[in-house]
Amino acid sequence: MNMLDQEAAEVIDREFREMYGLTNESTFAFLLRSARTDRSESFVSNMYRALSWLLPRMTLRTRPIFDEITLLLDELDEPASDDSMNELAITMKQEEVLRLFGQANSLNELEPLLAAQEAFKQSQSARAAKPRASEEVIAKRIATAYWTDHNGRAVRGRVKELAAEYEVSEGTVRNYAKRYKPN
Q: Which tens digits make up the pLDDT trace of 63-85? A: 999 999 999 998 888 765 556 66
Question: pLDDT for 90-110, tens place per residue?
Answer: 888 999 999 999 999 898 889
Q: What are the 10-residue block averages of pLDDT along the chain, 183 residues in total?
A: 70 89 88 75 84 87 92 82 71 91 90 90 82 73 83 72 88 87 79
Class assignment of domain 3-128? Answer: mainly alpha
* pLDDT score at 8: 86
Task: Tell me 40's DSSP state.
Answer: S
**In 10 A of CB 19, how many CB atoms?**
8
Sequence-ordered list of residues with C-beta below 8 angstroms from that of 86, at least 6 positions apart, any chain: none
CA distances from 163 to 129, 142, 159 (A): 14, 9, 6
Distance CA 61, CA 146 (A): 47
**Residue 100: how many CA atoms within 13 Å on its side-chain side?**
23
CB 172 within 8 A of CB 141: no
C-alpha closest to that of 114 among 64, 69, 67, 60? 60
CA distances from 62 to 9, 19, 105, 139, 159 (A): 15, 26, 8, 48, 44
Taking every pair of Cα atoms in the chain, the longest distance, rounded to a whole number of angstroms, is 90
CB 133 within 8 A of CB 166: yes
| Alpha carbon distance, N-terminus to C-terminus of the chain | 58
Domains of the chain: which residue ranges?
3-128, 136-179
Instruction: Tell me the H-state helices in the chain.
Output: 3-20, 27-37, 42-54, 63-77, 87-128, 136-150, 158-166, 170-179
* pLDDT score at 121: 93
CB 145 within 8 A of CB 155: no
- pTM of the predicted model, to two decimals? 0.60
